[in-house]
Amino acid sequence: MTRILVSLYIPILLGVSIVSNPKICMAQEVLPQVDISGNLKLDKRFLITDSVKIADYPYHELNLKLKSNPSQNLYLYSSIKLRLWDQNLASSLVDLTALSSNNPYELSLWEAYADLYSFIFDKLDLRIGKQRIAWGTADKLNPTDNLNPDDFSDPLNFGEKIPTEGVNATYYISDEYNLGAIWLPSLKSILLPRGEFPLFDDASTLPLPPGTNLTESADHLTFPNRKVENSMYATKFSGVIVEFDFSLSYFRGYDDVPIVNRLVVTPVDTLGNVRLDTYLGFPEIQVVGFDCAGELYSIGLWGEVAVFLPEEVKMIMEMPNPVDPLNPIIQDTIILPEEPYVKFTLGGDYTFKNGIYINAQWMHGFFTERGRDNLEDYVMVGIEKKFKNDEINLALAGGLEIKDIKDLKENYGTVIIPEVSYAPTDNVELSLGAFFLGGKTGTLFYTWKEQDQIYVKTEVSF
């Protein structure tokens, strides 16, 4: 049975289809060995702001990973991800005939790539396929990590990314220095959460003409034309200086978070009720980055800085003209100036002799923030201590959002995350924790204040 399963998964690793062949079992002895591993994550959240309510955006997840080394110069890897949401989507009796009406799911080929070692030249390696290209040295808060789109399907799990198709070449100049070049054929956008989670402003917060009332709204998304000249590319030079790893990088492509570039207000009656159509696109960006990481006196230190060079984005607003209905009023406002802005993250960690571990980071500019005047500061701190032969772990994490340091009392947001986890065996972990969010009006964490929750998680590895 195991051999049959291996033979079925080989096409996934190779990224090709296979035609059914009754003689396939005869060829099993020559198939390369495939290592199969994975993990199962079960995640249940309970919102506790007013009454206890089950949150609908978290998901359970099954990951299956397959690896193979057919030859010395070839490595194959793929992973399959199955996500399952606890949501009730049925709106009629007919919908109840489908299992997915109560448990919607998504099955995805998460990664699938081939590594070609010593490709053409001895010191040149090539990775082709759907892959996660991770840049930066900070702990998940990486402003230089812009090649893969953000995965905000779980908004409270910061820093997750989605693998995308590309070609990644690395030339090893020496044992300490290498030069990388990356080509991404097309833009892939941010993945947003299912259900109710206020990650972006909705239509009700957008400006409308005085005396109007919004009754209908729709949004329209436009991607860059899929021409070769619109593909994205990047390069990075990496090395080691005085036992500190560092890299200099450059990325040219698109912001994966859409931005509003046009609003159209249309009257639906003579009582002032209007329809709002919102048009969004993806602005071009260039990013010059630097990062480094190392250890000093047993303290882990890291830092990275990214200089963003965006294109100018204007928001054009078309409004009804009461004097001349055939000629609407048109206004345009620059919402993203063509001026550089800088994001950075500085951090470090340390483990004390008594086993207490602490991690602290300062992030300037959240993932979804852009523009010199729109960047806020976030200080994130976590502390952990293990007990009973590392079976029990107590952790407390917290974050302070600073919108305006000059008037901090009215411009801050907070998040507190206590957690206790228990590992009865090496491959099983049970966790109980909570998120408490709040702050002052206008901050990001304040918009999430209704998301206070308790969570129960189980993770099994195999």
Least Cα distance to 435 among 416, 414, 457, 461 occurs for 416
pLDDT digits (tens, 9 = 90+) for 186-220: 999 999 998 778 776 655 567 777 778 888 989 99
- 217-221, 281-285, 411-415: which has the minimum mean pLDDT? 217-221
Neighbours of 427 (CB within 10 A): 11
Going by pLDDT thresholds of 50, 70 and 90, the confidence category of residue 5 is very low
Distance, in Å, from the CA atom of 25 to the CA atom of 7, rounded to the nearest integer, reads 8
Banded model confidence at residue 30, pLDDT cuts 50, 70, 90: low
What pTM did the predictor assign?
0.88
As a whole number, mean pLDDT of residues 375-390 equals 97
| Residue 14 DSSP label | H
Residue reference for tokens 């952990």: 384
More confident site: 367 or 28 = 367
DSSP string of 309-367? EEPPEEEEEEE--SS-TTS-EEEEEEEE-SS-EEEEEEEEEEE-TTS-EEEEEEEES-T
Question: Are residues 219 and 242 in contact, defined by beta-carbon separation less than 8 angstroms?
Answer: no
| pLDDT greater than 70 at residue 124 | yes
Give the pLDDT of residue 202.
58
pLDDT-derived band at 385 (thresholds 50, 70, 90) equals: very high
- In DSSP terms, 259 is beta-bridged to 281
Band (pLDDT 50/70/90 cuts) for residue 440 is very high
Question: What pLDDT is attached to residue 204?
Answer: 57
Average pLDDT over residues 370-386: 97
Residue 148: what residue type? N
Contact criterion met (CB below 8 Å) for 30 and 36: no
The yes-or-no verdict on residue 2 having pLDDT over 50 is no
- What integer pLDDT is reported at residue 205 of this predicted model? 66
Cα–Cα distance measured from residue 167 to residue 124, given in angstroms and rounded to the nearest whole number: 13
Phi, psi of 97 (to 5 degrees): -85, -5
Give me the pLDDT at residue 24, please: 44
Kindly state the average pLDDT of the residues 420-436.
Answer: 97
pLDDT per residue as tens digits for the range 155-169: 999 889 999 999 999
The CA distances from residue 397 to 370, 414, 434, 457, in Å, are 26, 11, 10, 17
Q: Is the pLDDT of residue 409 over 80?
A: yes
User: How many other β-carbons are positioned within 10 Å of the β-carbon of residue 191?
Assistant: 16
d(CA 25, CA 20) in angstroms, rounded, equals 11
* Sign of the four-CA dihedral 204, 205, 208, 211: positive
Q: Is 137 exposed, middle or buried (0-12, 13-18, 19+ CB in 10 A)?
A: buried
pLDDT confidence of residue 321: 85
> Average pLDDT, stretch 123-149?
97
Task: Please give the Cα distance from 50 to 452 (Å, whole number).
Answer: 10
d(C-alpha 150, C-alpha 161), whole Å: 5
Nearest partner of 68 among 124, 9, 16, 125, judged by Cα: 9
Task: Go through 215-241 and write b for each residue having 16 or more CB atoms within 10 A of its CB, e for each that does not.
Answer: eeeeeeeeebeeeeeebbbbebebeee
Instruction: Decide the pairing of beta strands 299-310 and 74-85.
Output: unpaired
The stretch 2-15 carries a mean pLDDT of 40
Q: How confident is the model at residue 15 (pLDDT cuts 50, 70, 90)?
A: very low
Mean pLDDT of 227-255: 96
Q: What is the pLDDT of residue 210?
A: 78
User: Which residue did the predictor score with more confidence, 7 or 396?
Assistant: 396
Q: What percent of the chain has pLDDT over 90?
A: 79
- Helix, strand or coil for residue 29? helix
Tell me the pLDDT band of 18, cut-offs 50, 70 and 90.
very low
Q: Write the pLDDT tens digit of every residue in 75-122.
A: 999 999 999 999 888 889 998 999 888 889 999 999 999 999 999 999
Confidence of residue 46 (pLDDT cuts 50, 70, 90): very high
Residue 405 dihedral angles phi and psi, to the nearest 5°: -65, -25
Give the integer Cα–Cα distance in Å for 205 and 349: 40
Q: Which two tokens stand for residue 63?
A: 């990951």
Q: What is the pLDDT of residues 284-333, one digit of tens each?
A: 999 999 999 999 999 999 999 999 999 999 999 998 888 887 888 899 99
Whole-number average pLDDT of the chain: 91
pLDDT above 80 (res 418): yes
**What's the whole-number mean pLDDT along residues 22-37?**
65
**pLDDT of 443 over the 50 cut:** yes
pLDDT for the residue 25: 47
